[in-house]
């Protein structure tokens, strides 16, 4: 199977993860005008599952290191398969809750609160589980990114003053989503052998772990998304009949969104061998600000913002760059 050989390449993979995780939602935004998110989300999850299988039979089955995908499946123990699937289920629950929070409270509250909690909690949990890098420098970088996320939230609040009201339900969903998202990665990491070039009996390769992660997402989606379709947090219920009435473009947009997110997840896991799970996860969660950049410069979400908002956004981006530099240096 394909593995990385250098820390520099691992950091590059982490940056690509950040770009993918911060950009996949553009596909949902393209479809949002006529296609419910619950319906889009089915194709999104299918896209993730298909993409992991493609990776498993290509990069995961060729090369001198590790084990090929099918050989890895044949020897894998049930405990580690379940651990990767549990990680997928936890992520799926958190992601659905986050989107529900955005629909109720808006991005000004839901996105910074949810992803901000996930970032801080995720780096701490993964660092405790596998301490790699200078802890003082690492957490200084995390702190700067957390401040950047708060500035992002302030900018969104300025934009929404007088237009919308946030509810306690939306805030609660945001916090719950962040708490769940902060834990999913460690279950995936536990399912894999620690040194990708030296396979361990019973454990999964990163490519096999991704497949079981995606399977956990898909199976849990049968429960989570079906429930939300019938009892949405906002709006009227929808049905599976509405899903099958979607156009080919609607379905392909969702699959593309899942593939983009999964490319980021795959690169994050592949990079964790050289960069360490804490640094890999921390860089990936910088996607919060990438999503803000899409909103500012492409979707022009701040064109009606009051005076002074641009200074907040510029400071946010500056702190983010410094925080990323500290996280990389910590290794």
Query: How does pLDDT run across 63-118, given as a tens digit for each residue?
Result: 888 899 999 999 999 999 999 999 999 999 999 888 777 666 656 556 677 877 78
Taking the domains of the chain in order of start, what are their residue ranges?
Answer: 7-117+165-286
pLDDT class of 166 with cuts at 50, 70, 90? very low
Closest among 65, 279, 328 to 193, alpha carbons compared: 65
Q: Which residue bears the tokens 């049905």?
A: 239
Is residue 299 scored above 70 in pLDDT?
Answer: yes
pLDDT computed for residue 103 by the predictor: 64
Neighbours of 134 (CB within 10 A): 13
Is residue 192 scored above 70 in pLDDT?
Answer: yes
Is residue 320 scored above 70 in pLDDT?
Answer: yes
Residue 168: partners with Cβ closer than 8 Å, 6 or more residues away? none
pLDDT in tens, 127-148: 787 787 788 998 998 899 889 8
Rounded average pLDDT over 229-239: 90
3-state secondary structure the chain: CCCCCCHHHHHHHHHHHHHHHHHCHHHHHHHCCCCCHHHHHHHHHHHHHHHHHHHHHCHHHCCCCCCCHHHHHHHCCHHHHHHHHHHHHHHHHHHHHHHHHHHHHCCCCHHHHHHHHHHHHHHHHHHHHCCCCCHHHHHHHHHHHHHHHHHHHHHHHHHHCCCCCCCHHHHHHHHHHHHHHHHHHHHHHHHECCCCCCCCCCCECHHHHHHHHHHHHHHHHHHHHHHHHHCCCCCCCCCHHHHHCCCHHHHHHHHHHHHHHHHHHHHHHHHHHHHCHHHHHHHHCCHHHHHHHHHHHHCCCCCCCCCCHHHHHHHHHHHHHHHHHHHHHHC
Residue bearing the bigger pLDDT, 281 or 305 = 305
pLDDT in tens, 168-189: 677 788 889 988 887 888 899 8
Question: In whole angstroms, what is the distance from residue 4 CA to residue 203 CA?
Answer: 19
Is residue 258 scored above 90 in pLDDT?
Answer: yes
What is the average pLDDT value for the chain, to the nearest integer?
Answer: 86
pLDDT class of 262 with cuts at 50, 70, 90? very high
pLDDT computed for residue 155 by the predictor: 78
pLDDT computed for residue 109 by the predictor: 59
Rounded average pLDDT over 252-276: 91
Structural tokens at position 63: 């090369």
Is residue 163 scored above 70 in pLDDT?
Answer: no
pLDDT class of 32 with cuts at 50, 70, 90? confident
Q: Following CA atoms 249, 252, 250, 215 in sequence, which dihedral angle do they give, to the nearest 10 degrees?
A: 170
Neighbours of 128 (CB within 10 A): 10
Closest among 158, 136, 297, 269 to 209, alpha carbons compared: 269
pLDDT computed for residue 161 by the predictor: 67
Answer whether 0.85 is exceeded by the pTM: yes
Is residue 278 scored above 70 in pLDDT?
Answer: no
Find which of 10-14, 45-49, 325-329 is predicted with most confidence, using mean pLDDT.
Answer: 45-49
Across the strands, what pairs with 204?
192
Average the pLDDT over each of 155-164, 183-192, 252-261, 264-273 and give the range with the smallest value: 155-164
């Amino acid at each position: 199977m394909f593995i990385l050989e250098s820390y520099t390449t691992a950091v590059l993979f982490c940056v690509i993860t950040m770009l993918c995780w911060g950009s996949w939602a553009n596909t949902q935004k393209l479809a949002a005008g006529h296609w419910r998110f619950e319906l889009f989300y089915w194709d999104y999850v299918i896209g993730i599952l298909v993409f992991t299988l493609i990776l498993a039979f290509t990069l995961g089955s060729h090369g001198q290191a590790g084990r090929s995908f099918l050989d890895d499946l044949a020897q894998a123990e049930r405990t580690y398969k379940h651990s990767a699937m549990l990680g997928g289920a936890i992520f799926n629950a958190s992601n659905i809750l986050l989107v529900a929070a955005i629909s109720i409270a808006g991005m000004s509250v839901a996105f910074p609160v949810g992803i901000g909690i996930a970032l801080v909690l995720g780096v701490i949990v993964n660092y405790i589980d596998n301490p790699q890098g200078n802890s003082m420098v690492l957490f200084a970088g995390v702190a700067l990114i957390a401040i950047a996320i708060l500035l992002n939230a302030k900018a969104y609040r300025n934009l929404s003053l007088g237009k919308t009201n946030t509810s306690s339900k939306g805030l609660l969903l945001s916090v719950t989503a962040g708490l769940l998202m902060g834990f999913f990665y460690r279950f995936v990491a536990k399912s894999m052998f620690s040194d990708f070039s030296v396979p361990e009996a019973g454990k999964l390769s990163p490519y096999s772990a991704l497949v079981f992660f995606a399977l956990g997402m898909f199976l849990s989606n049968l429960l989570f998304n079906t429930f939300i379709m019938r009892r949405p947090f906002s709006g009227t219920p929808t049905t599976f009949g509405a899903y099958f009435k979607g156009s080919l473009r609607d379905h392909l947009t969702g699959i593309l969104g899942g593939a983009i997110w999964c490319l980021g997840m795959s690169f994050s896991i592949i990079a964790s061998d050289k960069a360490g799970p804490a640094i890999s996860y921390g860089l990936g969660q910088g996607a919060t600000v990438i999503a803000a950049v899409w909103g500012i410069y492409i979707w022009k979400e701040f064109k009606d913002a009051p005076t002074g908002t641009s200074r907040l956004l510029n400071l946010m981006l500056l702190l983010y760059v410094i925080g990323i530099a500290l996280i990389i240096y910590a290794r």
